[in-house]
Amino acid sequence: MSTEIVTISRLGAQGDGIAQTEAGPVYAPFTLPGETVALAVNKAQGTLISLKEVSPERVEPPCRHFGPEGVNGTCGGCSLQHASDALYHTFKRNLVIDALKSKGLTPHVAPLIVARPGERRRAVFTARRTEKELLLGYNQAQSHHIVAISECPITSPGIVSRLATIRKIASVMASTAEPFRITVLETATGLDLAFEGIKLNDRQRRAAVEAVLSERGIARLSLNGEVIVEPVKPTIDFGGVTVSPPPGAFTQATRPAEEAMARLVLDHIGKAKRVADLFAGIGTFALRLARTARVHAVEGEDRALKALDFAARNTQGLKPVTVEKRDLFRRPMMAQELKAFDAVVFDPPRAGAEAQCHELARSGVKKIAAVSCNPVTLARDLSILVTAGYRITSVTPIDQFLWSAHVETVATVEK
């Protein structure tokens, strides 16, 4: 390891500053373009020692757990709290522009739909029992060290205000020093706590039930997908349709981002009469689309599909919604099947929808809305469609993972 003074030239895809040195690029968290910094360098990784020249785009981080001087270590939840809004928003938009450009695609990319503090309704905490206390927080970046948090400016007040309650319930359930995960979802009826990675004996189970029932604001407690206690069914709203998600279900991290994505999708689909929603999850788009169109929702996760189906069957005023359990990675909907639809929506995991897009390209479906959490795989998927004669009509980046290097995108495509 050596100490070097370098100048940061740009931000990398993970939000780290990059300095070009004779030995190659060095990646330095918590630095900004234009800054001259002293780094402890180990191969391509730099650890910030001090700032020699400070960028005018540097701002005071709003959270005391952030940065190299964070309390008890650096919380790994955020990477860019030290950047001004202007620099940060440009960085996020450029993630999408650069990914598209790498595939030879140069559509206009709309300004970033920004995220605000306190919007995150879903958070994943790491917890572990120690001899003195129960640690609850986030893992330090590239580490198993848990940074215990007492605040979190990105997360909703409804979650932050109940950190002590979550810690109390976790203390009852943890019997070893092994770390475990808690997914917390803020729903209309209270917090949904989904624990993973621990085992309960009968005594602990009873104690956990008592702990939940003694606290207000907890809708459900589950462990490894099994409901332990459910004082009230947790519910979320998709455009006026009430859905009860299964334990630990995927939802969009913030409601404002979800509503922005839905608005872009619905505006593009327009008056289509038959729509396929692929990778439909618990119905984020399908149930909204069903207000005006017949929808076929395809999803590989059984519990998510059942939640979507139950909500559709028990909501008046919707067009017919059919559901199909199908692994679209292994068995994508074929071009001949897709010809029955006027429009298609797809919202895959980070791996994207490469196999499905090859079938879409052959189908001739008139309108497609692509939703993605990974600009790199989105660019790959869009290039497949463009090669087949589709035209990208809009690309909109959406921020719902505030101060991170993750960005959502909605792209609309027409034949």
* Strands in 190-293 per DSSP E: 190-196, 218-223, 226-229, 236-238, 241-243, 274-278
3-state SS assignment for residue 184: strand
Residue 229: both structure tokens together: 């206690």
Residue 413: both structure tokens together: 């495509």
In degrees, to the nearest 5, what angle opens at C-alpha 115 toward C-alphas 100 and 64? 115
Residues in contact with 202: Cβ distance below 8 Å, sequence separation at least 6, in sequence order: none
Residues in contact with 316: Cβ distance below 8 Å, sequence separation at least 6, in sequence order: none
Quick count: other Cβ atoms within 10 Å of Cβ 335? 15
What is the C-alpha to C-alpha distance for residues 172 and 401, in angstroms, rounded to an integer? 31
- CA distances from residue 166 to 126, 192, 194, 204 in whole angstroms, order as listed: 11, 10, 11, 15
What is the C-alpha to C-alpha distance for residues 179 and 182, in angstroms, rounded to an integer? 10
How many C-alpha atoms does 101 have within 13 Å on its Cβ side?
8
* Strands in 9-83 per DSSP E: 10-11, 17-21, 24-28, 36-42, 45-53
322 alpha carbon, distance to own chain's centre: 27
Q: Among this protein's residues, is 75 annotated catalytic?
A: no
| Whether the Cβ atoms of residue 221 and residue 208 lie closer than 8 Å to each other | yes
Matching residue, tokens 């391509």: 44
Q: Which long-range contacts (CB under 8 A, 24 or more apart) does 374-378 make?
A: 374/350, 375/95, 375/96, 375/98, 375/99, 375/100, 375/407, 375/409, 376/99, 376/102, 377/348, 377/350, 377/351, 377/352, 377/353, 378/96, 378/99, 378/352, 378/409, 378/411
Please give the positions annotated as active site: 373
